[in-house]
A and B are shown apart, each in its own frame.
Chain A
């Protein structure tokens, strides 16, 4: 027996080599864009920009120039300033709403998938109700009662995201809770809380993170759609969606007014997805397993 152990020592004792992965220029381009947009949004107040709300009726729909880098919009407001200030709104909603969804939905989904039984039926049932409720009507109703504000908008989009996150978390938990390592943890005397937080959460975290980044992208687009419909932040505050909506009126004369915010939104959403996918692939320790 001892000889077997010794002969094993030599070939297995080699230090494990960490695989280095090439990230590629696309990933770095996406990171650069994301950082750029985030920084611009964060420092919008201190950047030497004209006011995003000051109108200049003599300089409506001006083309790009040294004074107005991206020109002016239909009311003579600086397009670049509106774009950067709009990024604040779009990114705040786009990041905060999925956080609400992933926290509440993830917790409910894990509890439902782990404890099963009546609690699960209750959670799944109420989520189905929420899913069946037309989202636009809910948004209309809430803004009608509580008024249009950034906070209300974030909450509506966050609540609307809960069922999807719940389903992802529950599906992942259901398959994992049957695995032997959960029984093994229980056999080692782990509490339910411990099993949920230390054994299951790290496993559920990866699919949730991937879905969260997708959620950010979707929310930015949905916020745009709601603002386009006039349900977003109230004017004169700009967001990318409301800018596209306003640009629509002068689509024949100055198409850039709709296209510039649209392209910005497209690039941001694409970058989030690219970064998210790459990070997930990098941090998933299960790669190559199974």
Chain B
């Protein structure tokens, strides 16, 4: 990436105090994303994906402790005063949440929610805001947008609601959109539509996008770069084509193998990753994937592998025993 990064996450860690001790949700993560680019963050439940996105937005729970730096558009968001941060959110940084059932206010109409966001940030008058809301709803593929304005979220289907949530997120032309599992709560058929919609709007608006998901299939065709997270750390990071051509980290490979294949013979056992992710309140000595890794050796249990570059500097992985085989063929 030659262009200056729009967002760079530098050495960010998030600690959450819990009754069972300190929980390190995000562990020394470094990421960058350029303007107009798409980054996929992949990992299983509880690996710190959502906490990382909250850390970028500075929307962590009050008790959480954040260290490191989050540089967005030339300024450090960590410790930025509340007023400037508030101006940035919504205007330049927007989010689409996982569950459209809960991310829209149940007692306000779609119109109210859209129009108020527009008026708040763009200082439009009521009529202009309404006109723009209709345009936005039409842009995200909602039929009869003018009638939708007077409806409440519960009167729409899940897919429709997610479209509305995307319309609200896009309303102020953000420079960066964070989509936190945008399709997890939706039907499989709707998932593709929503992802296509996001990709189309991203190209049209030339905004950067971070797609957070547990599904490697979601990021495969739609991102420029992928970061795989495990137990709060980035364990592999590469441009998407390079990653799918040749993955080095056994975890990435296992994650890909766990996706059911439509062309597999009936009754083929689905390869699952045995064991569970480590308890984040008890840090593992050595590589955090080692208890579940079939390639693990003595060194893996002793020291933590660092992110190191493979053949190209863009492809990084954290493993002592990287898989050297060509990707795609999984034992």
Contacts and interface: CB of A to CB of B under 8 A. Distances in A.
A288 interface: yes
Given A4-B193, A184-B95, A203 B106 contact: yes
A22 interface: no
A188 B104 contact: no
Interface in A111-129: none
A187 interface: yes
A286 B95 contact: no
Interface in B24-55: none
Contacts of A179: 102
A44 interface: no
B89 A186 contact: yes
Nearest to B53: A187
B81 interface: no
Interface range for A: 20 to 34
A288 B98 CA distance: 22
B103 A184 contact: yes
A13 B57 CA distance: 36
B105 A189 contact: no
B59 A187 contact: yes
A236 interface: no
A181 B105 contact: yes
B104 A189 contact: no
A24 interface: no
A205 B94 CA distance: 28
A289 B160 CA distance: 15
B141 A288 contact: no
Contacts of B89: 186-189
Interface string A10-21: 001101100000
A8 B116 contact: no
B313 interface: no
Nearest to A198: B116
B97 A285 contact: no
Contacts of B105: 181, 185, 199, 202-203
B90 interface: yes
Contact of B94 (A188, A194, A202, A285): A188
A184 B107 contact: no
Contacts of B99: 180
B88 interface: yes
B87 A202 contact: no
B248 interface: no
A82 B106 CA distance: 47
Contact of A187 (B94, B121, B144, B147): B94
B107 A202 contact: yes
Contacts of B168: 184, 188
Contacts of A104: none
Contact of B144 (A13, A199, A290): A13
Contacts of A199: 105, 108
A290 B196 CA distance: 28
B106 A188 contact: no
B155 interface: yes
A149 B98 CA distance: 57
B86 interface: yes
A1 interface: yes
Given A13-B144, A188-B89, A180 B102 contact: yes
A263 interface: no
18 contacts: A12-B160, A15-B144, A16-B151, A181-B105, A183-B103, A184-B95, A185-B105, A187-B59, A188-B94, A188-B120, A188-B121, A188-B169, A189-B120, A189-B121, A190-B120, A203-B107, A285-B154, A289-B106
Q: 6 nearest interchain CB pairs?
A: A289-B154, A189-B90, A188-B90, A189-B89, A180-B102, A13-B143
Given A189-B88, A285-B152, 20 more contacts: A1-B200, A5-B193, A15-B144, A180-B97, A180-B99, A181-B103, A184-B104, A186-B59, A187-B93, A187-B94, A188-B89, A188-B90, A189-B89, A189-B90, A198-B116, A199-B108, A206-B107, A285-B106, A286-B154, A290-B154
